[in-house]
Chain A
Amino acid sequence: MIAVFMELRDGKIKKSSLETLSEAKRRAADLGCDAVAVLVGSGVEASAADAFGAGAARAYALESQALAGYSAQGFALALAEWAGEARPAAVLFAATAMGRDLAPRVAARLGAGLVSDCTGVAVTNGKLEFTRPIYAGKAVLKCVLRSSPQLATLRPNVFPLGETAPGAGEVVRRDVSVPDGAVKGRAVEVLREQGGEIDVTEAEIVVTGGRGLKGPENFGLLRELAALFPKAAVGASRSAVDSGWIGHQHQVGQTGKTVSPNLYFAVGVSGAIQHLAGMSSSKVIVAVNKDPEAPIFKVADYGIVGDLFQVVPLLTEEIKTILAE
C-alpha cells in the first residue's frame, strides 16, 4: 500500500494532503495496491471522512494525548512506529511547512530515503520514480529509492485532485505510546498573518510585483487585482523584498518560494534567472513590463509592454467586468 500523511488545519484535512492522496491512489492502481490515509494527533478519527472522498481505502488514526499539538519528534515517532508495523511500500507527504519539517525525521527514523518536493510520480519496475526540480527548477532530477519504504513529499498545487465525493470507510485506530521526555520541542501557538492572507505557495493566482513598482505604496495596485479572486496572493521579487517594500514571506524565486499557481502575474518584474526559477512551473504566466526586452517575456504566455501604472488598473477593471459576466 501507499500511505499518505494527512495534515490537518482546524480539524480539516488540507487540500495539499488530498492532492497527494489523489496521486497516491493513481499510482497505487498502477502497482495493484491500495492508497491509505494516516492521521496523527488526539481525537483525529473524526477528521478522516474527507480522505475517503479522495479515494483512501482505509484510514489509520494514530492517537495519543501527547500528540494533541504538533511536534516533529512526536509525529515522527508515531508514523515510524506505524510504518514499521504496517510496512507500506511508500509514505507520501504534501511538501508543506509541516510535511517538509516532518518527513525527514520519519525517514531518518526508518533509515529510508526521501525525495523532496516532487512534481511528478510514475511507476517503473514496481517502484515509484520521482521527478523533482533541483536548483530551484533550473534542472530536473528523476530518481528511485533503494529503501523500503520509499518516502517523498509532493509539491502542492501540482497534482490534480481526484474524486471528492463524500465517502465512508474503515478508520483503524492505533493508540501510540509516547514515552515521557521523548518530545523535547513542540508547537505552542500559531500566529496568523494579519488579514488572513493566503500563502503564495497555496494560492491559485499569484500577483507579483518587482522593482518596477518603484515603492511599497504601489503594492496596493496588485492587492486590488488579487482581491478579485478568492484564492489569490501577492508575491514579490527579491529586489522588492530586499528594498524593504514587502515582507520576505512574499518572495518568489530561488531564495524565496517556489510557486505553481494556475495564473501568475509578473508586474514590473524583469525576470532575473533566480526569479524565473521560482515561478516558471506556473500554468499560465502574464507579464506587464515597460521593457520589451525584459527576460520575463521569454517565459510569459501573455505579455503587455507598457507602463504598469496605466496597465494594471485597466486590467483590473477589465477582469472585474469579465468575472461579473
Chain B
Amino acid sequence: MTILVFVKRVPDTESKIRIQYEARTILEDGLSFVISPYDEFAVEEALRLREAKGGAVRVVSVGKDESLTVLRKALAMGADEAVLIKDVTPETYDGLRTARIIARAVERKFPGADLLLFGKQSVGADNSQVPAMVAELLGLPQATVVTKLEVADGTATAFREIEGGSEKVALSLPAVVTAQKGLNEPRYETLKGIMAAKKKDIPVVTLDELGFAAEDLVPQVEITGLDVPAARQAGKILQGDPAHAARELAALLRNEAKVL
C-alpha cells in the first residue's frame, strides 16, 4: 500500500516561548525545533504498515527549507521518500490555508495513496484542523486521535480517543487517520538510517507549481494580538507538621478558595 505521512517542524515541547510583539510572531532565536511529537507516531505507524503489507511510505512537509531536517529524520526512521512543499510564509495559525495546499498537492503530485497519516495536532498551533480539512477537501473519510489502527483490504478500523473511552470507526480506504500517543512506540533512527537519509534527494515543490497565486492563500485568520499568558501569583506554602498542614489546607480550600 502507498502511505503519505504529513509532518511539521515545531518548537521542542521543553521550549520557553517568547514573543516578537511588532511582528505578532514567536521569536525563533534560541528555540530548538523538532518533528511534532504526534507526527512521529504517524511515521512509525506507516513504517509498521509497510513492514506488514509492503508498499511505500512517502513523507511530506509544508514549510520553509528548515523543514528539511524533520523530513530527514523521517527518512532516517525508514521512510522511502520525502518531499518538501515550500511555503516561506510565517505561521498563520490558519488550518484551512495549509489544508488547501496539502489537498492540492495530494491531487496533483501524489495521487493513488491508500492512507494519509497525520499527527493528531501539531504542537504549537494546536489546531487539530488540517487533517480533517484535507479529508473534507478530498472527499475522504477520517478517524482522528487514533490509538489503534487495523488495516485490511480496502478498509480500516480505527479506535479513536473520546471522553472517558474510545470510539470504533469503520473506514473505507483511502482515508485520513491522525495519530494519538499510545498508537505505537516510535523507533529510534539507526546510524545506517541517518547516513542513508543524508544521501537522499528531497524534491521541493513550490506553491506556484501547485497552481496557487499569492491571493489564493490569504489566511482567514487575522491575528489581532499575541502575548504570553498572565503569570500566576505564587500562593501560600504550608510547611512543617503534615497533619497540621493538611488540616490548614482543607480549611483554606473551603473558606478562602471556596472550592470544597
Residues of A within 8 A of B (CB): 70-73, 76, 96-98, 100-105, 107-109, 111-117, 124, 129, 133-147, 183-193, 196-199, 201-202, 205, 241, 247-249, 251, 254-256, 262-263, 272-274, 277, 280-281, 283-286, 292, 297-307, 310-311, 314-315, 317-319, 321-323
Contact = CB atoms under 8 A, between A and B. Distances in A.
9 contacts: A98-B162, A101-B144, A104-B136, A105-B135, A107-B96, A114-B96, A143-B93, A146-B219, A299-B234
Contact of B93 (A141, A188, A251, A272): A141
Contact of B163 (A97, A141, A322): A97
Contacts of B253: 263, 284, 286, 302, 319, 322
A297 B124 CA distance: 25
B160 A97 contact: yes
B182 A248 contact: yes
A246 to B, nearest CB: 12
Contacts of B136: 73, 76, 104-105, 108-109
Q: Ordered nearest first, which 10 A-B pairs have the shortest CB separation?
A: A185-B141, A113-B220, A142-B225, A318-B250, A104-B132, A314-B246, A301-B235, A108-B136, A185-B171, A108-B133
B252 A302 contact: yes
B69 interface: no
Given A113-B96, A248-B181, A301 B164 contact: no
Given A97-B163, A134-B125, A302 B232 contact: no
Contacts of A318: 246-247, 249-250
B217 interface: no
Contacts of A280: 229, 232
A144 B223 CA distance: 7
Interface string B226-238: 1111001011111
Contact of B164 (A199, A254, A285): A199
Contacts of B222: 143-146
Nearest to B120: A100
Nearest to A106: B136
Contacts of B252: 302
A interface, over-half SS: mixed
Interface stretch (B13-21, B196-204, B205-213): B13-21
A298 B234 contact: yes
B2 interface: no
Given A134-B126, A186-B170, A303-B236, A322 B95 contact: no
Interface residues of B, number: 88
Interface in B146-167: 147, 159-167
Contact of B237 (A284, A305, A321): A305
B89 interface: no
B161 A249 contact: yes
Contact of A185 (B134, B147, B172): B172
B95 A129 contact: no
Given A190-B162, A311-B242, A321 B129 contact: no
Contacts of B249: 286, 302, 304, 315, 318
A205 B224 CA distance: 33
Contacts of B170: 185-186, 188
Contact of B182 (A72, A247, A303): A247
A111 B237 contact: no
Nearest to B165: A192
B226 A142 contact: yes
Scoring B163, B221, B243 by chain A CB atoms within 10 A of each residue's CB, the highest score goes to: B163
Interface in B88-104: 93-96, 99
Contact of A116 (B126, B161, B223, B224): B126
A317 B19 CA distance: 45
B238 A185 contact: no
B137 interface: yes
Contacts of B94: 113
Contact of A302 (B15, B147, B257): B257
Contacts of A241: 181
Nearest to B159: A191
A123 to B, nearest CB: 13
Contacts of B225: 140-143
A276 B234 CA distance: 13
Contact of A143 (B19, B126, B165, B223): B223
